Amino acid sequence: MKYREKTGFGKCPPEPENDLFQYDILCVGACVQDILIEGIEPSDFCNPVTVLDRVIFTSGGDATNEAVILSRLGNRTALVAKVDRGTAGDAIYLDLQREGVDTSQIVRDGNSRSTTSFVMINSQGNHNFFLSKGENEGIALEEIDLLALRHARAISIGSMYTSYKLDKGGTVELMKIAKRAGLITFADVDHDVEKLGPDAMNQVYPYIDYLLPSIDEASYITGEKDEKRAAEKILSLGAKTVVIKLGDKGCYVKNREEEFYVAPFLVEAKDTTGCGDNFVAGFIHCVLKGRSLQESARFACAAGAINSLEIGGHMAVKSERQIEEFLKTAAVCEISRG
């Protein structure tokens, strides 16, 4: 039975009967099938037959990538999403179970069709996406078992602006309930695929403890090209801490008490798909472990860097120990901040 069916929509879930949580984190949002095709060049489309380097079938989507990495880092992680009952949904579901992600909060819907994303990666590591767009996809608020919030420490919206049904009012209600229940709240941002407008999420920000957009996304929602001014605007809208991902320039972190940059690591990137999702997962992991903002941001940068060493959105990061070892030896890029 859904929480809203039992107690009425919008009320705070009752306090847990004990202080043992079933979940460290609930990851909410996109869940798709990724087909990674490595070693394909534009000229290959003119050939009748091309031998490829590698093809990988895996789960994907922002919230899914976060959930897989958080699980590998040792967190009790549940994915809150919708997948179809066809072959794509079956493949996604089994992949998540193999990764140790709790699938009990996933809605299997026979009236939807999950998106399949074909990721074409050439010899330079550049990629192009070809989407077989789904139908009736994206979980809605009324499909989420809000009782699960009683048993979680934190919640993360994988990507606002690509959460479809949740983007149109559901996210703000979900985050309100989460904050009333005492959860730590995280959110990422994505491209505004449905043209909702830069102010569409303004009501959500007051319920977000940590907002983690890229610089392009932060610029879109604030109108500011500079990360410092963008972060200040987001703080004025109500978010408690802003972490702006700067790609190969590291990240910028700001709240009312702290402000700093973290430099990126020097790596030879093979594929940047999902690096932002790995960054978010690494950051969440450290916050849940009680680490400082500086430590969390540095660990997050390392997770993103490691992800770039392999193709796909969650193929490279394997464990917390792996990232810690990387941090001991990896070279840091010197960045001129102007």
Q: What is the pLDDT of residues 61-106, one digit of tens each?
A: 999 999 999 999 999 999 999 999 999 999 999 999 999 999 999 9
Which residues, other chains included, contact 192 with Cβ-Cβ below 8 Å and sequence gap of 6+?
A: 161, 198, 200, 220
Beta-sheet strand order (sheet of 127-132): 54-60, 32-38, 116-121, 127-132
Q: 101 and 17 in contact (C-beta within 8 Å)?
A: no
Question: Mean pLDDT, to the nearest integer, of 275-290?
Answer: 97
Please report the pLDDT score of residue 64 as a whole number: 95
Q: How confident is the model at residue 135 (pLDDT cuts 50, 70, 90)?
A: confident
Please report the pLDDT score of residue 251 as a whole number: 97
Interval 230-258: pLDDT, tens: 999 999 999 999 999 999 999 999 999 99
CA 325/CA 307 separation, integer angstroms: 15
- Of 245 and 122, the one with more pLDDT: 245
Please report the pLDDT score of residue 16 as a whole number: 43
- Of 312 and 148, the one with more pLDDT: 148
Which two structure tokens, joined as six digits, stand for 53? 């380097």
pTM, full prediction: 0.91
Please report the pLDDT score of residue 19 as a whole number: 54
CA 216/CA 37 separation, integer angstroms: 27
CA 296/CA 34 separation, integer angstroms: 28
- Of 263 and 13, the one with more pLDDT: 263
185: three-class secondary structure by DSSP:
strand
Q: 152 and 284 in contact (C-beta within 8 Å)?
A: no
Which two structure tokens, joined as six digits, stand for 292? 């400082």
97: three-class secondary structure by DSSP:
helix
Domain residue spans in the chain? Answer: 22-41+51-328
Nearest to 226 by CA among 236, 235, 216, 211: 216
Q: Which residues are registered as beta bridge partners of 185?
A: 155
The DSSP line for 278-307 is HHHHHHHHHHHTT--HHHHHHHHHHHHHHH
**Is the pLDDT reported for residue 289 higher than 90?**
yes
127: three-class secondary structure by DSSP:
strand
Which residues, other chains included, contact 189 with Cβ-Cβ below 8 Å and sequence gap of 6+?
A: 159, 160, 161, 201, 211, 212, 213, 214, 217, 218, 221
| HEC profile of 15-52 | CCCCCCCCEEEEEECCCEEEEEEECCCHHHHHCCCCCC
Please report the pLDDT score of residue 338 as a whole number: 67
- Chain center to CA of 285: 12
Q: 257 and 226 in contact (C-beta within 8 Å)?
A: no
**Is the pLDDT reported for residue 306 higher than 60?**
yes
Interval 136-181: pLDDT, tens: 888 999 999 999 999 999 999 998 998 889 999 999 999 999 999 9
CATH code of the domain occupying 22-41+51-328: 3.40.1190.20
